[in-house]
Amino acid sequence: MSDTSGSPPIAVVTGASSGIGAATAERLAGEGFHVFCAARRTERIEELAARIGGAAVTCDVTDAEDVAALAAAAGPRVDVLINNAGGAFGQDKVAASDPEPWRRMYDTNVIGTLLVTQALLPALEAADPGTLINIGSIAGRLAYEGGAGYTAAKHGVAVMTETLRLELNGRPVRVTEIAPGMVRTEEFALVRLGDPSKAEAVYAGVAEPLVADDIADAVVWVATRPPHVNIDLLVVKPLAQAAPHKVHREG
């Protein structure tokens, strides 16, 4: 893939140091994109960028200066932006919740997505069309006990995505949300629960949860549709999962 100048298309992936972000960067590079791998953990993204022939940009998406530096590094044209940085912290019930993890989740998932989108929107328009893909969650579509802080943040991502599509109508930017269900990665459940045994229990008895590459595959499919095709929402769950609270477990 290339633009009319013969240069490769440009992709920016936030949260690229592990999991879905790292897998997405690899898959996009395999499709011919020059990928800017953005995350806070410099050593990890430098290793990834070296492996895939991309570029590493240390970036905390909640920091406006970091985001401005990311936009400057990516340049005047960005064909695909993947807002993947986010995360879940804790499983407290609403009545007993510490508000600080809620603030962290909102800042990372919502404000971070907002700042990166604002900074890179001119470059996406310059791609004509650019493709903006926000990685949401089924938690942005449904509620479940112990998940209110995360579901509130991911509902914010979902509504921001829908609103942006309305506001950009008539301009050359495609806007998509990909909403994964249960994805087994090396860090998500561990970061959320802070205990390896509890993290492992999330997937207990589930024969085939999704893996990061399943979502990366969906990202590449959305990004490579014909220019006139916009995929508004793509919900991706493992066969074993009907809803956040309804998962078939063997044994």
C-alpha span between 147 and 97 (Å, rounded): 10
Backbone angles phi, psi at 241, to 5 degrees: -110, 120
Provide the token pair at 79.
């064909």
Q: What is the pTM of this model?
A: 0.93
Q: Which of 61, 13, 69 is nearest to 37 (CA)?
A: 13
Q: What is the pLDDT of residue 237?
A: 97
Q: Mean pLDDT, 10 residues at a time, over the chain (251 residues)?
A: 72 97 98 98 97 98 98 98 94 92 96 98 98 97 92 97 98 98 79 72 88 97 98 97 91 76
- Which residues have a Cβ under 8 Å from the Cβ of 100 and sit 6 or more positions away? none
- Give the active site residues: 150
Q: Which of 102, 80, 110 is nearest to 174 (CA)?
A: 80
CB contact at 8 A, 209 and 236: no
Q: Which of 215, 115, 101 is nearest to 150 (CA)?
A: 101
Query: pLDDT, tens digit, for every residue of 97-121?
Result: 999 999 999 999 999 999 999 999 9
C-alpha span between 194 and 201 (Å, rounded): 12
SS3 label, residue 32? coil
Q: What is the pLDDT of residue 2?
A: 44
Provide the token pair at 207.
């024969």
Task: Give me the DSSP letters along 59-121.
Answer: --TT-HHHHHHHHHHH-S--SEEEE----------GGG--HHHHHHHHIIIIIHHHHHHHHHH
CATH architecture of 10-242: 3-Layer(aba) Sandwich (3.40)
CB contact at 8 A, 216 and 27: yes
C-alpha span between 3 and 76 (Å, rounded): 13
3-state secondary structure string across 145-193 = CCCHHHHHHHHHHHHHHHHHHHHCCCCCEEEEEEEECCEECCCHHHHHH
Domain boundaries, the chain: 10-242
Query: pLDDT, tens digit, for every residue of 141-157?
Result: 999 898 999 999 999 99
